[in-house]
């Protein structure tokens, strides 16, 4: 079974969690390079573009960037990230638990004590980093910058060292929530995807209410990109496109606009409404995720045992019925037989799956 996750340059700690977390929780030989069977864990990577003719193990993944897949008998779904993903895939509500990143609480690292060192930290989306001199802006706002492209454990530890996290990164909020650090979602760039936040927010019983920051830009753009962004920006402003198009950059921001952003961050840290799931909800999520992890390990053990067991010749003196010939440990792949009329799609945003 091969681990499948989003790999981006120069990296993103939310995606890199897959490499570290599963190594901490699963046997060393759990994954290999056999791409006829793929494991999908942390990330928003369920889409119609997934390989069609391979077995797919779904362990807490979400959808949102692209049109969701049609679930067939090549899927074995343990659980998905949230209710909206379950709805999009036509799954029963019980299949929605929460993001599997909460399983970090089951690791030895999570037992190490960490003391607060920073009042408030800011975590931009990893694709927002090139748009701005975040170090200067956050320093002027009196806040601590956490870059999502930094080494994984450095990012997580700095989240734990904070008393409050303002985050455009979904997994910045998830890990803050897991370690009981209050968090506030912020929207800065057009890369922010509301669907996945709403999906996760519903899974932890927290209403999604992000703070809208003024968009700023200090980089450079190729001429064609600048023109395309300008057109989409104006269409968004006119209500003729998704609201996030209004955040597409097409020119450098003025000093006054940068100061507005600095002020907005400072005021959000001072007066914003922090979020945190209840302790009871967190305990329920952790219990359910741990149960799914145990089922995954048990299934893997049965598969390994079945593959390694020697084949015994049948005893000619024993009559076997057909049901007794079913191989032990065979995956019971989930098949969803859903009519087109039953498969309804979220309609709040007509472009909810389109990634631009």
Per-residue pLDDT, averaged over 123-139, amounts to: 94
pLDDT in tens, 43-75: 999 998 889 889 999 999 999 888 899 999 999
pLDDT in tens, 210-244: 999 999 999 888 999 999 999 999 999 898 888 88
Tell which residue, 168, 185, 180, has the closest CA to residue 14.
168
- Using CA atoms, how far residue 53 sits from 34, 38, 67, 72, in Å, is 13, 11, 18, 10
| Residues with Cβ within 8 Å of residue 137, at least 6 apart in sequence | 216, 258, 261, 262, 265
Per-residue pLDDT, averaged over 252-273, amounts to: 95
Tell which residue, 216, 44, 45, 193, has the closest CA to residue 125.
193
Residue 340 has pLDDT above 50, yes or no: no
Contact 188, 166 (CB under 8 A): no
Per-residue pLDDT, averaged over 327-337, amounts to: 29
pLDDT in tens, 141-180: 999 999 999 999 999 999 999 999 999 999 999 999 999 9
d(Cα 167, Cα 128) in Å, to the nearest integer? 11
Q: Is the pTM of this model over 0.85?
A: no
d(Cα 242, Cα 244) in Å, to the nearest integer? 5
Residue 114 has pLDDT above 50, yes or no: yes
pLDDT in tens, 275-293: 999 999 999 999 999 999 9
Determine the distance from the C-alpha atom of residue 65 to the mean position of all C-alpha atoms in its chain, rounded to a whole number. Answer: 11
pLDDT band (50, 70, 90) for residue 300: confident
Contact 181, 165 (CB under 8 A): yes
Give me 159's structure tokens: 């989240």
Better pLDDT: 191 or 328: 191
Rounded to 10 degrees, the C-alpha dihedral 353/167/141/269 comes to: 120
CA angle centred on 289, ends 288 and 295, rounded to 5°: 95
Provide the pLDDT for residue 302: 64
Among 35-49, 110-124, 141-155, 337-351, which is the least confidently predicted range? 337-351
Residue 120 has phi, psi (to 5 degrees) of -140, 135
Residue 301 has pLDDT above 60, yes or no: yes
Residue 200 has phi, psi (to 5 degrees) of -70, -40
Strands 144-145 and 118-123: parallel
- Using CA atoms, how far residue 199 sits from 21, 24, 69, 285, 322, in Å, is 22, 26, 17, 15, 44
Provide the pLDDT for residue 66: 86
Residue 344 has pLDDT above 50, yes or no: no
Go through the domains of the chain in sequence order and give each one's CATH number.
115-271 (3.40.50)
Q: Counting beta carbons within 10 angstroms of the beta carbon of residue 81, is it exposed (0 to 12), middle (13 to 18) or buried (19 or more)? A: buried
219-227 long-range contacts, CB within 8 A, separation 24+ = 219/130, 219/131, 219/132, 219/249, 219/252, 221/249, 221/250, 226/250, 226/251
User: Which stretches of the chain are assigned E, i.e. beta strand?
Assistant: 2-4, 37-40, 44-46, 55-59, 62-63, 75-79, 118-123, 144-145, 162-167, 183-187, 211-212
Residue 254 has pLDDT above 90, yes or no: yes
End-to-end CA distance of the chain, in Å? 31
d(Cα 83, Cα 199) in Å, to the nearest integer? 6
Among 32-36, 78-82, 99-103, which is the least confidently predicted range? 32-36
246-251 long-range contacts, CB within 8 A, separation 24+ = 246/190, 246/215, 247/187, 247/188, 247/189, 247/190, 247/192, 247/215, 248/190, 249/131, 249/189, 249/215, 249/217, 249/219, 249/221, 250/217, 250/221, 250/226, 251/217, 251/226
Average pLDDT over the chain, rounded to an integer? 85
d(Cα 233, Cα 190) in Å, to the nearest integer? 10
């Amino acid at each position: 079974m091969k681990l499948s996750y989003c790999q981006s340059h120069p990296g993103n700690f939310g995606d890199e969690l897959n490499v570290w977390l599963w190594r901490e929780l699963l046997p060393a030989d759990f994954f290999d390079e056999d791409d006829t069977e793929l494991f999908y864990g942390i990330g928003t990577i369920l889409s119609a573009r997934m390989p069609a003719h391979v077995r797919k193990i779904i362990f807490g993944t979400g959808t949102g960037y692209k049109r969701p897949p049609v679930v067939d008998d090549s899927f074995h779904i343990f659980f998905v990230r949230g209710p909206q993903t379950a709805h999009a895939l036509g799954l029963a509500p019980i299949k929605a638990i929460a993001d599997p990143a909460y399983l970090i609480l089951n690791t030895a690292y999570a037992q190490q004590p960490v003391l607060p060192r920073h009042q408030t930290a800011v975590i931009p989306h990893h694709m927002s980093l090139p748009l701005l001199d975040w170090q200067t802006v956050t320093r002027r706002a009196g806040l601590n910058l956490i870059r999502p492209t930094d080494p994984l454990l450095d990012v997580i530890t700095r989240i734990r060292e904070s008393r409050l996290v303002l985050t455009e990164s979904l997994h910045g909020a998830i890990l803050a929530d897991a370690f009981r650090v209050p968090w506030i979602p912020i929207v800065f760039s057009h890369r922010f995807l509301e669907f996945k936040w709403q999906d996760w927010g519903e899974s932890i019983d927290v209403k999604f209410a992000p703070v809208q920051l003024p968009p700023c830009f200090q980089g450079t753009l190729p001429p064609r990109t600048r023109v395309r962004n300008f057109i989409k920006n104006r269409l968004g402003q006119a209500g003729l496109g998704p609201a996030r198009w209004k955040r597409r950059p097409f020119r450098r921001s003025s000093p006054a606009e940068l100061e507005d952003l600095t002020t907005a961050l400072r005021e959000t840290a001072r007066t914003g409404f922090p979020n945190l799931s209840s302790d009871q909800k967190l305990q329920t999520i952790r219990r359910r995720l741990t149960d799914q992890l145990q089922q995954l390990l048990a299934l893997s053990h049965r598969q390994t045992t079945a593959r390694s067991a020697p084949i015994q010749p049948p005893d000619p003196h024993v009559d076997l019925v057909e049901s007794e010939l079913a191989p032990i440990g065979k995956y019971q792949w989930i098949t969803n037989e859903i009519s087109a009329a039953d498969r309804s799609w979220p309609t709040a945003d007509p472009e909810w799956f389109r990634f631009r």
